Amino acid sequence: MRYMLPLLFLVALLAMLMLRGYVHSEILADHRIQPPTATDRVPERVLEGGPVIDARSTTEPAKTLRIPDHRIVLTFDDGPDPVWTPRVLDELKKYHAHGVFFVTGTMASRYPDLVERMVEEGHEVGLHTFNHPDLSYQSTGRIDWELSQNQLVLAGAAGIRTSLFRPPYSSFADAMDNKSWPVTQYVGSRGYLTVVNNTDSEDWKRPGVRAIIERATPKHGRGAIILMHDSGGDRSQTVTALGKFLPKMQHRGYEFTNLTAALGAPSAHTPVTGFALWKGKAFVWAVDVSEHITDVLVVGLAVIGVLVLARFGLMLLLSFAHARRVRGKGFRWGEPLTRPVSVLVPAYNESKCIANTVRSLVASDYPVEVIVIDDGSTDDTADLVDRMRLPNVRVVRQRNAGKPAALNNGIAHARYDIIVMMDGDTVFEPSTVRELVQPFADPRVGAVAGNAKVGNRDSLIGAWQHIEYVMGFNLDRRMYDMLGCMPTIPGAVGAFRRDALNRIGGMSEDTLAEDTDVTMALHRDGWRVVYAENARAWTEAPETVQQLWSQRYRWSYGTMQAIWKHRRAVVERGPSGRFGRVGLPFVALFMVVAPLLAPLIDVFLLYGLVFGPTEKTVGAWLGVLAVQAVCAAYAFRLDRERMTHLISLPLQQILYRQLMYVVLLQSWITALTGGRLRWQKLRRTGVVEAPGAMQDRRRSSNDRRPVA
């Protein structure tokens, strides 16, 4: 379910966007117009005949029909339009007049209620193709497609088929040429009457109401098929002209009627029943869904755009304020701390990493005791640490019970009041512990987050995570520090006051993100949680997509669990209420909800590249990338990192970010479907060594891990 639902969701979204592009003539559209050609292959009786061409017979020559005197067939092309078609219908209804609406499938599928109104009010409906192409350029297969899709829409909108057809870009019968005549013959063989016109109001030029009326008025009482438009632009002049033209011509004895009524023929409409009816209704419903989905996406894109820009702006502002504060000459947490601290290292099968981890702690310039809690490892992790025989390092063994249990066991064995926690695949710089514990000089501080950095950044996937850690994590922590709602003490480098941990019951096993869980609990208990930028720790990031997926899936799901666990803080009083009404919504919005909407930027990038406008779409996406690049560059400057790693930022946004989207979506589905996720052990290589050595070490080709 967790894999199928995201796939089905993406397929359905793609299908809806493709359908929208289709009904908006953004795909499969052909806007070429055939220039006039010779007419020597067109029968003379057609060129000199009436505006209705009947080429349906396979045994008899094509014939033409004229409208009887004092009868007018008003025809309206290119609709229905949500603004102008209702006003045209209102004018016709006001004067009890009828006409023929030649609708396109693209418009009729989007506004089926107007087609239904046309039929209910006694008007006739004809086909004007689906996408409005010049059919003289099209194959017979494409012509059949245009007609059948147009009929499908009529079935779904009004439950009818029609036998009337008007070619796009058509004119008078004498304008038929060697390119358009074969199309008329073929359409006739499919059972359609081809309807052109013999009076053109030229309302599409918007020449003025008086000019439209003059050009639409038949001469000498003759019958006429008058061409007008109810779509394709501003049709206010057409509507106004109808209000004057209808009563004027009725006063002269003209009757405004349907085409078949004027010719004394059976109705052009045939009821549709059975499967064809439901197929049409399903298509119209799908178009309606695609339109609404697109509207939702547009609103979502606007929301996420505002959120992204607001977040980046807030991040830059507060990060600048944080750096200025903690780097100021007069800044200090209090009297410098010198008393020893306990460092807990929970480890499960960390034999490749644990030696580097422990050595980095022993090299610390601050007094520490190191407790390695072996959580039932099946390799020689514990024995390896014992064989090292390092001072102030001891091993606590336990049966496999998970990381929270290992940390609680370590807390029970710790001698000192400040507890530093780190992962077994992480190394500290000599000054890390000292920098990490100094904020505890402030008695209000209950926990401190360190600066976790990616140690194995020599692969592409490692470089992407390096950008994410510097920009997405550490820059965020500066912002959250200033807001007083730090969401997570990283498991790789964090410190806690023992009293604070005891008051909240230690490390909880309720969620898969025990670091986020305990941090939120500390906020609710009234403790300050701060960020120490100089407390750097180098961690081994996942080196394959599968490992990265497993890690981020657990992080995302665990964060959701922690937010849900602490949801009651929203209605509580005191410190818990402040965190619940400020920190919890902020964390939920920017860590869970906004990232879920962020893919809309990329969805519209693809949509714009395929359907246009390409230049504006690319420009907008590059604008978002530029904002991110500015934030990333500032974050790298604050962390004193080389800017060369930002070269891969555009590729990260295209590829790496998509993986994070799918991971978050899968976490949402797991949460909503009640699924359970277990801890997953990542494969380690031990590539991250103590500071100094790690910068110069180069892995051999045999040790290099694939990106995907």
Of 260-269, 270-279, 307-316, 595-604, the range with the lowest mean pLDDT is 595-604
Asked if the bond preceding 404 is cis, omega within 30° of 0, the reply is no
Q: In this predicted structure, what is the pLDDT of residue 703?
A: 39
Return the closest-CA partner of residue 357 out of 335, 336, 380, 381: 381
pLDDT tens digits, 626-646: 888 888 899 899 888 888 888
Q: What average pLDDT does this structure show over 149-163?
A: 97
Q: Among this protein's residues, is 696 annotated catalytic?
A: no
pLDDT band at 191 (very low <50, low <70, confident <90, very high): very high
pLDDT tens digits, 80-127: 999 999 999 999 999 999 999 999 999 999 999 999 999 999 999 999
Q: In this predicted structure, what is the pLDDT of residue 226?
A: 97
pLDDT tens digits, 290-335: 888 878 877 777 777 787 788 888 889 999 999 999 998 888 898 9
- The Cα 665–Cα 693 span in angstroms is 39
Q: What average pLDDT does this structure show over 409-431?
A: 94
Q: What average pLDDT does this structure show over 441-461?
A: 91
Catalytic pick from 128, 229, 322, 566? Answer: 229
Q: In this predicted structure, what is the pLDDT of residue 280?
A: 96
706 pLDDT above the threshold of 80: no
678 pLDDT above the threshold of 60: no
Q: In this predicted structure, what is the pLDDT of residue 244?
A: 97
- The Cα 454–Cα 472 span in angstroms is 13
Q: In this predicted structure, what is the pLDDT of residue 700?
A: 38
Q: In this predicted structure, what is the pLDDT of residue 699?
A: 39
Q: What average pLDDT does this structure show over 192-204?
A: 96
- The Cα 97–Cα 122 span in angstroms is 9
**Residue 530 backbone phi and psi in degrees, to 5:** -125, 175
3-state helix, strand, coil in the chain (%, to 5): 50, 15, 35
Return the closest-CA partner of residue 518 out of 497, 501, 499: 501
More confident call, 631 vs 154: 154
Return the closest-CA partner of residue 479 out of 664, 301, 657, 634: 634
10 pLDDT above the threshold of 80: no
List CB contacts of 96: < 8 A, sequence separation 6 or more: none
pLDDT band at 372 (very low <50, low <70, confident <90, very high): very high
Return the closest-CA partner of residue 542 out of 475, 459, 476, 648: 459
Q: What average pLDDT does this structure show over 181-203?
A: 96
341 pLDDT above the threshold of 90: yes
pLDDT band at 691 (very low <50, low <70, confident <90, very high): low
**Per-residue CA distances from 116 to 73, 122, 288, 705 (Å):** 20, 10, 15, 63
Query: HSE on the CB side for 608, CA within 13 Å?
Result: 16
More confident call, 211 vs 297: 211
Q: In this predicted structure, what is the pLDDT of residue 456?
A: 84
- The Cα 684–Cα 401 span in angstroms is 20
Q: In this predicted structure, what is the pLDDT of residue 68?
A: 96
Q: What tokens does 331 get?
A: 């800044």
Q: What tokens does 413 get?
A: 């064995």
pLDDT band at 593 (very low <50, low <70, confident <90, very high): confident
Q: In this predicted structure, what is the pLDDT of residue 681?
A: 52
| Backbone dihedral region for residue 344 (phi beyond 0: left; psi -120 to 50: alpha; all else: beta) | beta
More confident call, 501 vs 703: 501
Start-to-end CA span in the chain (Å) = 24
Q: In this predicted structure, what is the pLDDT of residue 652?
A: 80
pLDDT tens digits, 392-411: 999 999 999 989 999 999 99
What average pLDDT is seen over the chain? Answer: 88
Q: What tokens does 658 get?
A: 């998509």
pLDDT band at 702 (very low <50, low <70, confident <90, very high): very low
Choose the most confident range, by mean pLDDT, from 12-21, 31-40, 268-277: 268-277
Radius of gyration, CA atoms only, the chain: 37
Q: In this predicted structure, what is the pLDDT of residue 689?
A: 60
**Per-residue CA distances from 350 to 14, 430, 672, 688 (Å):** 43, 21, 34, 12
Q: DSSP class of residue 40?
A: T
Q: In this predicted structure, what is the pLDDT of residue 81?
A: 97
597 pLDDT above the threshold of 80: no
Q: In this predicted structure, what is the pLDDT of residue 595?
A: 72
3-state SS of 158-176 is HCEEECEECCCCCCCHHHC
Stated pTM of the model: 0.70
214, containing H or E segment: helix 209-216
6 pLDDT above the threshold of 80: no
Q: In this predicted structure, what is the pLDDT of residue 673?
A: 66
> How remote is the C-alpha of 408 from its chain's centroid?
41
Judged by DSSP in three states, 75 sits in: strand
pLDDT tens digits, 659-668: 777 777 777 7
258 pLDDT above the threshold of 90: yes
Burial of 183 (0-12, 13-18, 19+ CB in 10 A): buried
Burial of 498 (0-12, 13-18, 19+ CB in 10 A): middle
71, containing H or E segment: strand 71-77
Q: In this predicted structure, what is the pLDDT of residue 415?
A: 95
Return the closest-CA partner of residue 264 out of 223, 230, 220: 223
Q: Among this protein's residues, is 517 annotated catalytic?
A: no
Q: In this predicted structure, what is the pLDDT of residue 231?
A: 95
Q: DSSP class of residue 195?
A: E
Q: In this predicted structure, what is the pLDDT of residue 3?
A: 65
Q: What average pLDDT does this structure show over 68-77?
A: 97
5 pLDDT above the threshold of 90: no
Q: In this predicted structure, what is the pLDDT of residue 708?
A: 28
Q: What average pLDDT does this structure show over 366-371?
A: 96
Q: In this predicted structure, what is the pLDDT of residue 658?
A: 72
Strand partners, 371: 344, 394
